[in-house]
Structure 1
Amino acid sequence: MPPITVYLILIFTLFIPQNPTSADQSFISILINQNGLNFVKNLLITKAISSLIPTPLSQIEKVVRIPVIGKVRIVLSDIMLYRVNVGSSDVRPGISGISIAGSDVTSGMSVNWHYSYGSWVGPITISDNGTAAIEIPLLPPQCSASDWWVAKGNVGSAGSIFLFLGSPEGTLTLSNSEDSFGLIVFFGKMANNNGKFSRHVILHDVSGMEIGSLLSLDYEEGSMKLSVMECNCLIHYISVHLKGGASWLYQGIVDAFKDEIISAVEKAFIKKLKSEVSKLASVLQTLPKQIPVVNKVSLNVTFVNNPFLSDTSLGFEINGLFIDSKSNTVQYHNHLQPPVSCSDPSKMIGFALDEAVFESAFTFYYNAMFMHWIVDKVPEQNLLNTAGWRFIIPQLYKKYPNADMNLNISLSEPPLVQISSRNIAATVFADLIIDVLKTDETIPVICISLLMSGTGTVQIIGNNLSGHVKLDGFTMSLKWSKIGTLHMLLIQPMIRTMIKTVLLPYANAKLGIGFPLPIINGFMLQNAEIISTQSRITVCSDVSYEESFESRRIRIYTS
Structure 2
Amino acid sequence: MGVQSLAVACGALALCLALTSATNPGFVVRITQAGLDYAHQQGIAILEKQLAQLKLPDISGDSRVLRVGKVHYELSRLRLRDFHLPYSRITPISNEGLQVSISNAFAEVDGDWRVKFLFVSRDRGSFNLKVENVYIKIILGLGSDPSGKPTISTSDCSARISEVQVLFSGKLGWLYNLFHSVIESRLRKILEHKVCDNVVKSVNSELQTYIRTLPVTARIGDKIGIDYSLVAPPRTTAQSLDADLKGEFYSLGHRSTVPFSPLPLAFSSDHERMVYFGASSYFFNTAGIAYHKAGALVFEITEAMIPKDVGFRLDTSVFSAFIPQLEEMYPNMPMKFRLSAPAAPFMTIGPEGISLQPIVDAQAYAILPNSSLAPLFLLSLTGNVSAVINVRSGHIVGSLDVGRIRLSLKDSAVGTFQVRMMQSLMNVLTSSTLLPRLNARLNEGFPLPLLDRIQLSNILVKFHQNFLLLGADVHFQPRA
8 Å CA contact retained: 2:251, 2:291: no
Q: 1:239 aligns with which of 148, 151, 165?
A: 165
Partner of 2:260: 332
Name the stretch that deviates more: 316-325 or 31-40. 316-325
Report the Cα distance in structure 2 between the residues aligned to 1:245 and 1:421, rounded to whole angstroms.
Answer: 81
Provide runs of 4+ in structure 1 moved above 6 Å: none
Q: Cα offset for 1:30?
A: 2.2
Q: State whether structure 2 residue 209 is matched by structure 1 residue 213.
A: no
- 8 Å CA contact 1:240, 1:250 repeated in 2: no
How many Å apart are 1:245 and its aligned residue?
Answer: 4.2
Q: Which residue of 1 aligns with 2:10?
A: none
- Equivalents in 2 of 1:25, 1:327: separation in Å? 20
Q: Secondary structure at the match of 2:403?
A: strand
TM-score, scaled relative to structure 2: 0.85
How far apart are 1:103 and its partner, in Å?
Answer: 0.9
Task: Give ranges in structure 1 of 5+ residues lacking alignment.
Answer: 1-15, 138-207, 553-559
What SS does structure 2 have at the residue aligned with 1:435?
Answer: strand
**Map of 2:348 onto structure 1:** 418
Q: How does 1:166-315 map to 2 (within 5 A)?
A: 208-218=133-143, 221=146, 222=148, 224-242=150-168, 244-249=170-175, 251-252=177-178, 254-279=180-205, 280-281=207-208, 289-315=216-242
> The residue matched to 1:511 in structure 2 has which SS?
helix
Q: Deviations over 1:272-317 (max 9, x none)?
A: 1112332345666796543333434322223223443221212122
For residues 122 and 286 of structure 2, the distance between their equivalents in structure 1, rounded to whole angstroms, comes to 83
CA spacing shift, 1:393–1:110, aligned 2, 3 Å: farther
User: What's the secondary structure of 2:268's corresponding residue?
Assistant: coil
* Corresponding position: 1:38 with 2:37: yes
1:360 to 263, 279, 286: 286
In the alignment, what sits opposite 1:111? 111
Per-residue deviation, 1:411: 1.4
AA in 1 matched with 2:63: V
Task: Answer yes or no: is the 8 Å Cα contact 1:405–1:435 preserved in 2.
Answer: yes
1:427 to 357, 362, 377: 357
Deviation at 1:213, TM superposition (A): 1.5
TM-score (norm 1): 0.74
One-letter code aligned to 1:215 = L
The structural deviation recorded for 1:348 is 1.5
Q: Tell me which moved more, 395-404 or 264-273.
A: 395-404
Mapped partners of 1:231, 1:223: distance in 2: 24
Q: Deviations over 1:330-353 (max 9, x none)?
A: 232433234x2154x221222222
Is contact 1:321–1:356 with CA below 8 Å preserved after alignment? yes
Aligned length: 455
**Partner of 1:57 in structure 2?**
56
C-alpha distance in 2, partners of 1:70/1:30? 66
Change (3 A) 1:20 1:267: closer
Aligned equivalents of 1:115 and 1:538: distance in 2?
68
Provide the rounded CA distance (Å) in 2 between the counterparts of 1:41 and 1:508.
Answer: 39
Mark the CA change 1:249 to 1:516 in structure 2 (over 3 Å): closer, same or farther. Answer: farther
Over residues 173-219 of structure 1, what are the superposed CA-to-partner deviations in whole Å (9 max), with x where a residue is unaligned? xxxxxxxxxxxxxxxxxxxxxxxxxxxxxxxxxxx201112233346
Q: In structure 2, what is the equivalent of residue 127 of structure 1?
A: 123
State which drifts further: 401-410 or 275-284: 275-284
C-alpha RMSD of the superposition: 2.8
- Say which structure, 1 or 2, has more relative contact order (CA 8 Å, 6+ apart): 1
Q: C-alpha deviations, 1:443-479, integer Å up to 9, x for none?
A: 3323221012111121111222122111122201222
> In structure 2, what is the Cα distance between the partners aligned to 1:245 and 1:476?
103
CA distance in 2, matches of 1:33, 1:306: 17
DSSP-derived class of the 1:302 partner: coil
Shift in CA distance, 80/496, structure 1 to aligned 2, threshold 3 Å? same
Contact 1:374 1:408 in 2 (8 A): yes
- Alpha-carbon contact 2:215-2:451 (below 8 Å) kept: no
* Contact 1:55–1:82 (8 Å) recurs in 2: no
Q: Deviations over 1:362-405 (max 9, x none)?
A: 01111110011123322037523445545455544554444333
Deviation readout 1:96-126 (Å, 9 max, x if unpaired): 442211111112222223334468xxx6x54
Give 1:246 shift.
3.0
In 2, Cα distance between the equivalents of 1:374 and 1:391? Answer: 23
CA distance in 2, matches of 1:419, 1:426: 9
Distance 1:89 1:275, change over 3 A: same
Structure-2 change in CA distance of 1:324 and 1:389 (3 Å): closer
CA–CA separation in structure 2 for the residues paired with 1:497 and 1:478: 18
* Cα contact 2:152–2:211 (8 A) shared by 1: yes
Check 1:118–1:327 CA distance in 2 against 1; reply closer, same or farther (3 A cut). same
272-281 or 81-90, which deviates more: 272-281
Is the CA contact (8 Å cut-off) linking 2:54 and 2:198 kept in structure 1? Answer: no
Corresponding residue for 2:246? 319
Q: Which runs of 5+ in 2 are unaligned?
A: 1-16
Partner of 1:58, secondary structure, is: coil
- Contact 2:144–2:151 (CA under 8 A) maintained in structure 1: yes
Indicate if the aligned counterparts of 2:63 and 2:179 stay in contact, CA closer than 8 A: no
Aligned match of 1:85: 84
**Mapping for residues 445-484 of structure 1, pairs under 5 Å:** 445-484=376-415
Paired with 1:53 and 1:450, the residues of 2 have a C-alpha distance of 68
Cα distance between partner residues in 2 of 1:95 and 1:106: 32
In structure 2, distance between residues paired with 1:212 and 1:115: 36
